[in-house]
Amino acid sequence: MFIKTDENNVIVLVYNEPFDPVVGLGKTKEELESIGYLVDEIPQVEQVPGKVAIQKYDGTSFYVEYEDIPIMPGDKITELENKVELQEKKLAEQEQAIMELTAIIAGGGTNV
């Protein structure tokens, strides 16, 4: 397997059969090693919710860096709608509690 990385070690190209006579890259081992790396396999990456995995290779070992997935405008609107709904629910609960307390103070009872 042939991989190529950028200046930050991010894997930018993976080619499974670089020496295949039909679909290979048409280069020698030395030519490929001058522009990238020959490896046996690439390890699987653990997926983390809300993050994107950036797979890297430094010439001797693989590693992963995780970056936050940017919130898209539609997702931001949904997130804000959910927050507003939660706040409205809390407000209604507080208003109910105030009404109950007012009834207790005014009439000495607990029935509203």
Q: Which residues, 6+ apart, have CB-to-CB distance to 15 below 8 Å?
A: 1, 2, 3, 25
Give bridge partners of residue 13 from the DSSP assignment: 4
Q: Are 103 and 95 in contact (CB under 8 A)?
A: no
- The 3-state DSSP class for residue 66 equals strand
Angle at 103 between CA 98 and CA 109, to 5 degrees: 130
* Domain spans in the chain, listed from the N-terminal domain onward: 2-68, 71-112
**What is the tens place of the pLDDT at every residue in 64-95?**
999 998 877 777 788 888 999 999 999 999 99
**What is the tens place of the pLDDT at every residue in 7-43?**
999 999 999 999 999 999 999 999 999 999 999 999 9
